Chain A
Amino acid sequence: MQEFLGLPLQASAHAAEIDRIIVIVHWLMAVLFVGWAAFFVYTLIRFRASANPKADYAGVKSHTSSYLEVGVAAVEAVILLFFAIPAWTVRVNAFPPEEGATVVHVIAKQFEWHSVYPGPDGVFGHRDASLITPTNAVGLDRDDPAGADDVHTINQLNLPVDEPVIVYLSSLDVIHSFAIPQMRVKQDAIPGMEIPVWWVPTVAGDFEVNCSQLCGLGHYRMRGFVSIMNRADFDGFLAEEGARIADAAAD
């Protein structure tokens, strides 16, 4: 079923769990649909007027359909209680500790994805809407000691493989939605809110962030890139960016 449905590559630790629910629900759908369709086609042929000129006033007398309906409700209850609700609980409640995770602030704006890393001090600096300029798109406060070393990238999110990631998602203007289909990650970015989302990328390589919520005329091209790399490359990226910020500050 997984292959039949054509779901994308599973590039995160929880992708298989999401897919398992999609597959189970599609089995339920397939059984119901095939059952209905078989009964439907049989009755259409067997009870056409020429084959059955006199209709039966009473029709079906058995209560088989009631048992089937109870069965459907029972399967749905099992899916809910043992698969869907637990899976969601893990996504929104069971966050890993921040010390062992890569924490990134992702800020959406028309039509770009901005990523801010805390830098070597591990602390995010102050950001303020009043500081936003064409060269400081998310309003980083470089005068804040915690913010002086913050790394800022545009449309490029780098993450280490096989380590938990926590993204704090926000938006400067309208609602966007941060989606990486291969990692089964999708979360609306809503102005006025900061929404955390976490996952563990398990496949190194390049992926894309899709904007999934209509955000204006450039919605279709609001694409970011995600690079999943080994730890050494990730540290190298942060060091390189850190050096660049230091150079800029020295100038």
Chain B
Amino acid sequence: MENVTTAEHVAHAEHAHDEHELSFLRAYVFSVDHKVIGIQYAITAMLFLLFGFSLMMLMRWQLAYPGAPIPIIGNFLGQANAPGGIMLPEFYNQLGAMHGTIMVFMGVVPLAVGGFGNYVLPLQIGAPDMAFPRLNMASYWAFFGGGVVMFASFFVPGGAANSGWTSYAPLSIIALEGQTWWLIGMIFLITSSLLGSINFIVTALQLRAPGLSFMRLPFFVWAQLVTAFLLLLAFPPLEAAGVLQLMDRVADTSFFMPSGLVTTEGPLEISGGGNPLLWQHLFWFLAHPEVYVLILPAMGIVAEILANNTRKPLWGYRVLVASVIFLGFMSFIVWAHHMFLTGMGTAMSAFFQTTTMIISVPSVVILSAFFITLYGGSIRYNVPMLFALAFLPMFGIGGLTGLPLGLSAPDIHLHDTYYVIGHFHYVVAPGTIFALFAGLYYWYPKATGRVMNETLGKIHFWGSFIAINCVFAPMFITGLVGVNRRLYDGGMQYAHAQEVMEWNAFMSYGAWALGLFQIFFIVNFFWSIRNGKKVGDNPWGATTIEWQAPSPPPHGNFTTPPEAHRGPYEYSVPGASNDFSMQGQATGAEPEPAKV
């Protein structure tokens, strides 16, 4: 039945596609085509990544040279933010809060899910489009609206939100107007994710090509499917919490405000009776699964590229699928390990420490399977592979440094120090963002028909790899000494921090170098659209169904409706004429499925 439905859908879609010419506006701006929407998501998200990264480069100036005027750029930041080019603490806190918000909610997730998910997932499952194309367009425009609100918040009186990306109450509720804009922006962004996630789930379940059973799905599709469930189930509590915080700010409710608060301006005129910890529970109930929303699509991308460039099947496919589903479930019951120091008793802390240790096991299994995939391969070192390979040890460092933080007793020393910053940045920056770069280089020829320049790509890779480690590795040193995060002067006030203060400038040099090496990527990305080497539909000799479509795929994606005949990673099959047996090609005997 499923097969019939898909075939009919394709036939219907093709009929519709040939019917009329779309205007420019409908074809490229308000498009319902998953590929256009995917590219819109990816470009918008990359611009926000660049913007969020720039905020961090400004912060790194203040951390390296506290109180010194920022050269040149300082003159353009405005008297309210940086009089005489010297950054004020209020502005530093805005930069910190908005760096986190932008990178997570407007950069990495929209690129990993909105960009790669939208562009690649329907192609990989042999579908002509997403299940609900208009919903898909609505999802992008809700994201865009959220981005505009967040960006505009820098220009309201008092500037953007400055209570951290976590927006802990009561600080966020007594904050200036920027916080209201932040909350409205978040409501847009969450709505966008919810619209997207239901679309991904239905698409992955309903629009698979004939023969593409669940155990033949590329790992990338599994990762996106689990991610979509996380978004769908974890974001509604934060959306509700965001509305409650908005009410606390604009309608004088007290969901998160206890009685008897007195600030420097005197007693607060509120009804009170609320609880600040309620916000933290609701926030982390989303924000911990969010960590897996950041990492799972990255793992999916890495899996595709590892199999392709080792020229052998992904090792332990079934175990990988089981692990990623298990990770998804577990990610809902670890959230309070962010809250060990809020006065938690033994029972609660024992529960959340145990679940946190349990969730580390599937992560170890996935990473081990990726390492073992390399064994026996015939490894090609192209640019996508370099980024995918670098992901492995970098995510390893990020994951391992999560262990001491997941235990409540060591957390007494490490909580809110730079150790935490080092930990999650290793997961997200040289982890997830490197995987996203790998994916950009890998699927670029599918979207454009041309490959990006190898030399520029290698300079981008090696430069970024060295620089990014210079930024984040020293954070473990300063964190173990006990230097706190979110300090405007980087810890200059504190005696115990003095011995490691020189690392602040070192990390800043790393950050600026990292910025410089991104220029190679930006130039390569735009230059290659017209000048990259032209390649065929399957330049990497890959197996999965998206490589069967023309590059770039036309509206409706495939010239003939694809069918799956074998598993996703049938590379170097003994006796086969090629070292890759494409999932959609019926020719030749069907090889035995990979042993797992």
Q: Which of A56, A61, A177 contacts B341 (CB 8 A)?
A: A177
Let me know if B480 and A5 touch, CB within 8 A: yes
Chain A CB within 8 A of B482 CB: yes
Chain B nearest CB: distance from A193 CB in Å?
6
Please indicate the chain B residues that have their CB under 8 angstroms from the CB of A218 in the complex: 89
Q: Which of A88, A139, A175, A208 contacts B170 (CB 8 A)?
A: A175
Name the segment of B39-47, B52-60, B68-76, B344-352 touching the other chain: B344-352
Q: Which of A43, A55, A93 contacts B571 (CB 8 A)?
A: A55
Chain B nearest CB: distance from A16 CB in Å?
12
Complex CA gap A33/B377 in Å reads: 22
Complex CA gap A92/B312 in Å reads: 52
Interface flags, B391-411, vs A, CB<8A=1, else 0: 011001100110110011110
Beta-carbon contacts under 8 Å, A59-96 to B = 59-61, 65, 68-69, 72-73, 76-77, 79-80, 83-85, 87-89, 91-93
Let me know if B409 and A110 touch, CB within 8 A: no
Let me know if A52 and B377 touch, CB within 8 A: yes
Let me know if A88 and B409 touch, CB within 8 A: yes
Given contacts A36-B396, A129-B267, A208-B495, contact A174 B346 (CB under 8 A): no
Chain A nearest CB: distance from B236 CB in Å?
25
Chain A CB within 8 A of B342 CB: yes
A21, A32, A33, A220: residue with the most chain B Cβ atoms closer than 10 Å = A220
Q: Which of B89, B174, B379 contacts A47 (CB 8 A)?
A: B379
Complex CA gap A172/B259 in Å reads: 10
Chain B CB within 8 A of A202 CB: no
Let me know if A37 and B393 touch, CB within 8 A: yes
Chain A CB within 8 A of B23 CB: no
Beta-carbon contacts under 8 Å, B360-412 to A = 360-361, 364-365, 367-369, 371-381, 389, 392-393, 396-397, 400-401, 403-404, 407-410, 412
Count residues on chain B whose CB falls below 8 Å from chain A CBs: 98
Let me know if A193 and B343 touch, CB within 8 A: yes
Let me know if A32 and B379 touch, CB within 8 A: no
Interface flags, B271-305, vs A, CB<8A=1, else 0: 00011110000000000000000000000000000
User: In the complex, which residue of chain B has the Cβ closest to the Cβ of A111?
Assistant: B264
Let me know if A57 and B416 touch, CB within 8 A: no
Please indicate the chain A residues that have their CB under 8 angstroms from the CB of B410 in the complex: 18, 21-22, 25, 84
Chain B nearest CB: distance from A65 CB in Å?
5
Let me know if B93 and A48 touch, CB within 8 A: no
User: In the complex, which residue of chain A has the Cβ closest to the Cβ of B574?
Assistant: A57
Let me know if B400 and A29 touch, CB within 8 A: yes
Q: Which of B164, B489, B494 contacts A210 (CB 8 A)?
A: B494
Complex CA gap A209/B159 in Å reads: 30
Q: Which of A59, A80, A193, A214 contacts B312 (CB 8 A)?
A: A59
User: In the complex, which residue of chain A has the Cβ closest to the Cβ of B91?
Assistant: A217
Please indicate the chain A residues that have their CB under 8 angstroms from the CB of B216 in the complex: none
Complex CA gap A220/B381 in Å reads: 46
Let me know if A174 and B174 touch, CB within 8 A: yes
Please indicate the chain A residues that have their CB under 8 angstroms from the CB of B353 in the complex: 80, 84-85, 88
Chain B CB within 8 A of A158 CB: no
Interface flags, B560-591, vs A, CB<8A=1, else 0: 00000000000111100001000000000000
Please indicate the chain B residues that have their CB under 8 angstroms from the CB of A132 in the complex: 262, 267
Please indicate the chain B residues that have their CB under 8 angstroms from the CB of A241 in the complex: none
Please indicate the chain A residues that have their CB under 8 angstroms from the CB of B403 in the complex: 25, 28-29, 76
Please indicate the chain A residues that have their CB under 8 angstroms from the CB of B412 in the complex: 18, 91, 184-186
Chain A CB within 8 A of B315 CB: yes
Beta-carbon contacts under 8 Å, B494-517 to A = 494-496, 500
Beta-carbon contacts under 8 Å, B125-173 to A = 162-164, 168, 170-171
Please indicate the chain B residues that have their CB under 8 angstroms from the CB of A191 in the complex: 170, 258, 260-261, 276
Complex CA gap A76/B412 in Å reads: 19
Beta-carbon contacts under 8 Å, A201-240 to B = 208, 210-221, 223
Let me know if B396 and A181 touch, CB within 8 A: no
Let me know if A18 and B378 touch, CB within 8 A: no
Please indicate the chain B residues that have their CB under 8 angstroms from the CB of A55 in the complex: 310-312, 376-378, 571-572, 579
Let me know if B392 and A217 touch, CB within 8 A: no
Complex CA gap A171/B361 in Å reads: 39
Let me know if B345 and A93 touch, CB within 8 A: yes
Please indicate the chain A residues that have their CB under 8 angstroms from the CB of B408 in the complex: 84, 88
Please indicate the chain A residues that have their CB under 8 angstroms from the CB of B379 in the complex: 43-44, 47-49, 52
Please indicate the chain A residues that have their CB under 8 angstroms from the CB of B415 in the complex: 177, 186, 212
Given contacts A28-B403, A191-B261, A219-B486, contact A7 B170 (CB under 8 A): no
Let me know if B413 and A59 touch, CB within 8 A: no
Complex CA gap A69/B368 in Å reads: 9
Given contacts A172-B262, A210-B494, A220-B489, contact A48 B381 (CB under 8 A): yes
Complex CA gap A130/B354 in Å reads: 44
Q: Which of B262, B481, B493, B574 contacts A173 (CB 8 A)?
A: B262
Interface flags, B304-327, vs A, CB<8A=1, else 0: 000000111101000000000000
Chain B CB within 8 A of A120 CB: no
User: In the complex, which residue of chain B has the Cβ closest to the Cβ of A28?
Assistant: B403
Complex CA gap A186/B260 in Å reads: 24
Q: Which of A47, A49, A61, A181 contacts B374 (CB 8 A)?
A: A47
Chain B nearest CB: distance from A54 CB in Å?
6
Let me know if A129 and B376 touch, CB within 8 A: no
Beta-carbon contacts under 8 Å, A149-170 to B = none
Chain A CB within 8 A of B487 CB: yes
Let me know if A188 and B341 touch, CB within 8 A: yes
Please indicate the chain B residues that have their CB under 8 angstroms from the CB of A57 in the complex: 312-313, 571-574, 594
Complex CA gap A80/B263 in Å reads: 41
Chain A CB within 8 A of B595 CB: yes
Chain A CB within 8 A of B255 CB: no
Complex CA gap A49/B494 in Å reads: 53
Please indicate the chain A residues that have their CB under 8 angstroms from the CB of B346 in the complex: 85, 88-89, 92-93
Let me know if B375 and A43 touch, CB within 8 A: yes
A-B contacts, 13 of them at CB < 8 A, read A6-B477, A22-B413, A36-B393, A52-B378, A52-B379, A59-B372, A60-B376, A65-B372, A83-B409, A89-B346, A174-B171, A193-B258, A212-B416
**What 16 new A-B contacts, CB under 8 Å, besides A54-B579, A69-B364?**
A18-B410, A21-B409, A25-B410, A28-B403, A43-B371, A47-B379, A48-B381, A49-B381, A76-B357, A79-B357, A80-B353, A172-B262, A181-B496, A190-B342, A191-B170, A221-B489
